[in-house]
Amino acid sequence: MTDSRNNKGAQGHLHPLTQIVREIVDSFVAMGFEVADGPEVESEHYNFDVLNVPKDHPSRDMQDTFWLKPSEDGSPNHSTSGVGLKGVSQTVLRTHTSSVQARYMETQKPPFKIIVPGKVFRCEATDATHEAQFHQIEGLVVGEGISLSHLQYTLNEFFKRLYGTQATIRFRPSFFPFVEPGVEVDVSCVKCSGKGCGMCKQTGFIEVMGAGMVHPNVLTASGIDPQKYRGFAFGMGVDRLVMLKYGIDDIRYLYSGDLRLVNQF
Amino acid sequence: MNIPISYNWLRVHFEKDIPAPNEIATLLTKHLCEVEGMEVRNDDTIFDFKILPDRGHDLLSHHGIAREVSVLSGVPFKKIPTEYQQSFEKTEAILKVSVSDAHLCPRYMGRVIENVGVGESPAWLRARLESVGQRSINNIVDITNFVMLELGQPMHAFDLRKLSGAEIFVRKAHEGEKMMTLDNKDITLTPETLVIADSKQALAIAGVKGGKDAGVEAGTTSIVFESANFNAVSTRKTSQRVGIRTDSSRRYEHGLSPSLTEEAIHLATKLLLEMYPQARVGEIVDVYPEPQQAQTIVITVSDINGILGSTLSPDEVEGIVVRLGFTHTRDGETFTITPPLVRLDLSIKEDIAEEIGRVYGFYKITDAPLPDFAFTARPLKAYYYANLIRDTLVARGFSEVYTSSFQKEGEFAVLNPLAEDKAFLRKNLAMNIEQALELNVRNAPLLGLDEIRIFEIGKAFPGVMEEKLLCAVGIELTKAGKKKDTMTREALEEVRTVIGEVLGVAIEGVFTTNVFELDLGALLDTLPEPKVGAPFVSVGTRYQKISAYPFMLRDIALWVPEGIPNDEVLAIIVHEGGDLLRTKRLFDVFTKEFPEGKRTSYAFNLVFQSYEKTLSDEEINNSMLRITIALRARGWEVR
């Protein structure tokens, strides 16, 4: 669909990240999902504790997570004893959009289906394929009798909307503290449709997201009875999809404010 | 953590043939973990397996992987034998072990072995180690390394002669205590660090690295084998503190079952006896105050099928449980399962469901449509209005940029910044937009632009614990001459007006020479709930291939009650128009008073085009009919 204003010289350009986020969010909204969001500055409580990430898990280390100085005198807020005061002291830049899960679950009663786009942060040196900031989209469905079959159906529907009716997905074993079972989701290669090519390293599939059944500890921590309800969650990196789709070779261009990138879209 | 695994080494665990290396890779990819590499070396194949973090307990070993190959391929597994003679001449030294902190060292096993020597390893042992990239050191050290690679249990050997007495103390280091590592690094220890010591000094950093003073070397004739369990978190922190990461510390970091130490010390003893049949083997000293308790998990077949969405029968479930080697009892469809002690990852029903699903094959799961939920999605204001502003600005020639959330100055500091110029969170977007204008002005000729017009919508952090959703618009008129500042301000004022018109409210904001910034988050509170959440199609900005067939034009005009935005009408037109509707444009709007109230008239140009053929009037009339019916269904009058 082209808008006529595109034909005028004065038309500006929408950032490719916005475009892909819209495509993805629109697909889920069409399936009845609600868009939700949450803060980028997040408490240790929502980013880690309620997501069943152990107190001493390495992902909480300063090598992986940006910690913030919330007090005026600049005193460190990262205590190794980790007293996770909710939304107050132990403050991080959220490392995933999964932090919105508990925020939503605490205030809403199941059943629900949400999709959460947002910027996230990891403390890692930047290069062509790594940025300290990037975008994720998280999905969460909680209701009675939800199973991995429902997750697979939902993701199949989504990828068919995104990549066309020939797209298929497959699950592989994986591990994330906030889901059990946990799976890695591969989608049939958009370039060769599963036959094998350079883009998919001859495997016919591309790894696109992590997913699984919401861990009962996560439901319990958010006040939802895991005996009654089950849910599934999934999360995907948006930047990589953008880079794959358009053949962008350096992730840093996406956050440089550079029209040499943006004006190609 | 990745681990190199030798195919030939795996084969030692089977009497029958196992599947070929590429079949093993496929099997494990589907059922266990990623295979990140496969390399043929001599007559062997070396796999690079990426072991999932929750299986570091038991799979960083050839034994563990061979168990999985057996479970998944059905070829019976055979343990490497660890039996040896049990009567020995009495050792001269009698080992004593005292552990000061059972939390940091849940189990310590040690034994003295005398009348041995240090020399080259036999060829088979050197070959095994070298096949997975380990350098052979000497026979004793090689045995400890072999045991670790086979069973996943790190071991250590001390030269008994160098110890001050045959007593081992597992204790925290004294403040300022020093130790030289086997590779000649001087380490000053801190009291959080757990060490293995004799009565005088630290001999090893527990679970991380041995010390030079008690190392095995040429001339060693009696040793102490250590097979111990150390706390995962404390080992990781110690390893970080002293800056030494080893194959041993990496394994302890995952948390190991204390049950592993026994098998390990027996295997090491057996291998040493093969080299020195005359060795005097001392009693095993085992300090294990709180033995690990087995987990018992009760699960029904309905639970499993409910979680997986599968239709497994009780017999199928039992078959998988048996293949996994789990002790179990079955009562109808209820299973009571006791996983082996090494499987520290299994403690709740969902863990068992995952295990069953993994062996069965997640790829065999079939689709099931979501149940018809009683759930109505509400549009999210922030998402809706941010995207409305994006479309508005793009339509007026502005390009959207994303810039870094980090800045060299600000109000809200990062505790562990990546660099000095990224020490703060951005306090506004204006500063970033100024910088982006500068960058793009330099590239203006390349971009073919006389005016740089950009905007960003994103979070900024104006104070400690403050987070705001802002929108900043920047303009740089490179050819404007003397009146540049005035013209820029006028253009920015126009942006403010346009956004105000689209949102239907007056817009406040902050102007600098080149930038207008508004607090979108605060504005949202004053805006009405949007009626629709989506779609915000990526209109006009994606590459579209050009059709060789002619396009055809139609117009449509309609009356709607006042207050219905044109986007709502367009969404219906777009939906009904389908793929053939290439372009749409609102060309006329006016509002008029009617007896029943005010109504707004919208008129749109629609352009239809196919990629495959020249469209007939009939086809387009059908599209227009669908659009008209859908619009009338809303009670709107199509004119």
Q: How far apart are CA A65 and CA A119, in angstroms?
A: 14
pLDDT score, position A62: 82
Mean pLDDT of B494-498: 96
pLDDT of residue B534: 61
B381-524: same fold as B96-287? no
The encoded tokens of residue B47 equal 């796999």
Tokens linked to B288: 């294990």
Query: Is residue B226 part of an annotated ligand binding site?
Result: no
* CATH class of the domain whose range is B381-524: alpha beta
Region B443-466: what's the mean pLDDT?
90
The answer to whether A35 contacts B456, with C-beta atoms less than 8 Å apart, is no
- Give the model's confidence band at A89: pLDDT under 50 very low, under 70 low, under 90 confident, else very high: low
Q: Do B415 and A76 touch (CB under 8 A)?
A: yes
Query: B542 pLDDT exceeds 60?
Result: no
Domain B297-364 sits in CATH 3.30.56.10: yes
For residues A125-146, give the mean pLDDT: 94
Question: According to CATH, what is the number of the domain A13-262?
Answer: 3.30.930.10
Task: Report residue B302 as tokens.
Answer: 């309905």
Give exposure, B455-489, as e/b (b: 16+ Cβ within 10 Å).
Answer: bbbbbbbbebbebbbbbbbbbbbeebeeebeeebb
pLDDT of res. B112: 97
Percentage of chain A beyond pLDDT 90 is 60
Closest residue by Cα to residue B516 from B480, B483, B471, B462? B471
Domain range annotation of chain A: 13-262
Give pLDDT, residue A72: 52
User: Chain-wide mean pLDDT for chain B?
Assistant: 93
Residues 6 or more apart whose Cβ sits within 8 Å of residue B486: none
- pLDDT tens-digit readout, B103-142: 999 999 999 999 999 999 999 999 999 999 999 999 999 9
Confidence (pLDDT) at A83: 34
Q: Which of A210, A162, A166 is nearest to A186 (CA)?
A: A210
pLDDT at B546 over 70: no
B471 touches chain A (CB under 8 A): no
**Which strands form B34-41's sheet, in the order they lie side by side?**
B2-6, B44-50, B34-41
Record: contact B541-A6, CB cut-off 8 A: yes
pLDDT the model gives residue A1: 38
Mean pLDDT of B1-19: 96
Q: Collapsing DSSP states into helix, strand and coil, what is residue A229?
A: coil
Q: Is the pLDDT of residue B535 over 70?
A: no
pLDDT interval class at A7 (50, 70, 90): very low
- Complex-level ipTM: 0.91
Kindly report the pTM of this predicted structure: 0.84
Over residues A139-161, the mean pLDDT reads 96
Nearest CA in chain A to B355: A181
User: How much is the pLDDT for B639?
Assistant: 87
Chain A's closest residue to B53, CA to CA, is A175
Q: Would you state the CATH architecture of domain B96-287?
A: 3-Layer(bba) Sandwich (3.50)
pLDDT band at A88 (very low <50, low <70, confident <90, very high): very low
- Kindly report, residue by residue over B600-629, the tens digit of the pLDDT: 999 998 888 887 889 999 999 999 999 999
Helices (H), B187-245: 232-242
* Residue B277 burial (10 A CB sphere; 0-12, 13-18, 19+): exposed
Tokens of A78: 């990262």
Q: What digits encode the pLDDT tens for the residues B343-379?
A: 999 999 999 999 999 999 999 999 999 998 889 999 9
Please say whether the beta carbons of B371 and A143 come within 8 A: yes
Average pLDDT over residues B185-209: 95
| Domain spans, chain B | 2-73, 96-287, 297-364, 381-524, 552-638
Report the CATH number of the B2-73 domain. Answer: 3.30.56.10
With 70 as the cut, is the pLDDT of residue A74 above it? Answer: no
Angle between helices B62-73 and B139-151 (to 10 degrees): 30
Strands (E), B152-255: 156-159, 167-172, 178-180, 186-188, 194-197, 202-205, 209-210, 223-229
Contact call for B350 and A35, based on CB within 8 A = no
Residue B375, chain A, CB below 8 Å: the answer is yes
Give the pLDDT confidence score for residue A80 in this predicted structure: 35
CATH dotted code for B552-638: 3.30.70.380
CA triplet B593, B599, B605: central angle to 5 degrees?
Answer: 130
What pLDDT was estimated at residue B291?
Answer: 97
C-beta atoms of B452 and A18 within 8 A: no
Per CB-CB distance under 8 Å, the chain B contacts of A89 are none
Looking at the partner chain, which of B34, B394, B404 has a beta carbon nearest the beta carbon of A255?
B404
How would DSSP label each residue in B418-435? SSGGGSEE-S-SHHHHHH
Task: Give the minimum alpha-carbon distance from B46 to chain A in angstroms, rounded to a whole number.
Answer: 19
